Structure 1
């Protein structure tokens, strides 16, 4: 009996993940131009990945949690000249993320137009990062389960972690 229940729960979880992935693809296709290539959270998490990681969310979102070693560049107050000083090598691999990968595409496009040649958008953003079980860190660099949900509408894509809105 326990094996049957375990199998059913695993099956239902697989359906939920599969459905949410298809829906996430549809969402990103709806809002993004796909001018910037995606990188998966699994690729970014690989130990030998030497990418510079840029966080393209708002300050309060970054303070709640961010990917380890991510550099905050913001979205509404994004400063291209400041970012050029942070990442001087235009061939350096850069991965940009936001909550889901929509705002980060805008910032990635700005960097590409400025001559950066190795720019990627993190598929599914920090929500997908957390959904896949990877760690996030708060403003004191302490591991946390909290993720800024951006809004109740968008946070439905966050399946793991504790949603925070302020």
Structure 2
């Protein structure tokens, strides 16, 4: 009977020790180093995912974002500045079909330290962002997402988190045929 009670404690202790050893050895290795394959009896190191950190970053970026929302008139005026970039973070295929004229495409899934550094070397560059949820009446090219999951939100948070603070987000909802919008792409007639 005592053995049955001790076994879970021994297993827990063994797992905790292995996890601590694995954790301390993983802390000494480079953050960019690829994780090593595990043998069958090793305990996996924790993933490189920090949900509480993401929540904190989201709250911080959310407060900052409130002052960075701009209406279409301001957005288009800012876009005239040659030192300003319009960023379309949708998929490459959606971008190719139709995007705001002059926008560059960096697929949100490709955001990384190196990828952003290569595409936007100057972290002080003014970046304008928009997404599907800013454009109505062309669901083939701009399908509406759930409001709380609109691509502008994670795009802004990620740019902010990677150190790009000079970001402005289009706050207007516009009809696809709005004369203030100029589009380019394979689906533009």
- TM-score, L = length of structure 1: 0.55
SS at match of 1:111: helix
Taking structure 2 as the reference length, what is the TM-score of the superposition? 0.49
Bigger Cα Rg: 2
Distance 1:48 1:61, change over 3 A: closer
Could you say if the C-alpha distance between residues 34 and 121 of structure 1 is closer, same or farther in structure 2, counting changes exceeding 3 Å?
farther
- 1:1-166 counterparts in 2 under 5 A? 33=62, 35-36=64-65, 37-46=68-77, 48-49=80-81, 50-75=83-108, 77-80=109-112, 81-100=114-133, 102-124=150-172, 128=174, 130-133=176-179, 134-139=181-186, 144=188
> 1:18-69: per-residue Cα shift (whole Å, max 9, x none)?
xxxxxxxxxxxxxxx5652212222122274342111011222112101112
Q: Which runs of 5+ in 1 are unaligned?
A: 1-32, 146-166
Coordinate RMSD, CA, aligned: 2.6
CA contact (8 A) 1:41 1:129 kept: no
Number of residue pairs matched?
108
Which digits, 9 at most, give the CA deviation of each residue in 1:134-154, with x for residues without a partner? Answer: 111014xxx825xxxxxxxxx
Q: Which runs of 5+ in 2 are unaligned?
A: 1-61, 135-149
